[in-house]
Amino acid sequence: METKLSKDNLIFSLEQFIPEFSSSIVEHRKEYGHILEHVLFGDFTRFVIQEYKLGHSNVYLRCINFIEDMLNSNDGYLVEVAQASFLENLYQANDGIKEISKSFSKRTKVILRKIYPNMKFE
């Protein structure tokens, strides 16, 4: 990702990096009148799970990279949104969470182990 992520450019960057999710962002704005990042990233989690299940690896991996960029940010807000609204919603993948987790960095797997202490992540 070329532009440094920040709270101010988060949604713009998401639209640029994952254009396949843009229609969901438009729907979100219509429904709420503005962007609620935590709610939107819950929707993004479900989108990523769907892309994974459909085998759309190009889109899926770009999504994972975007979340990794958020988690590696020095911006505490981005880290919070990625953890609380994305990682904490991965349980919705059911058994797929273990497969999805294989795409994450070691650092992110440490976070996942804290969120889901009863699961084993490789």
Largest pairwise CA distance in the chain? 41
pLDDT tens digits, 106-119: 999 999 999 999 88
What's the full length of the chain, in residues? Answer: 122
- pLDDT (tens digit per residue) in 50-61: 999 999 999 999
Q: Which pLDDT band holds residue 3 (cuts at 50, 70, 90)?
A: low
Sign of torsion over alpha carbons 108, 109, 110, 114: positive
Q: Alpha helix locations (H) across 1-122?
A: 10-17, 22-32, 37-54, 57-71, 76-81, 96-101, 106-115
pLDDT of residue 71: 96
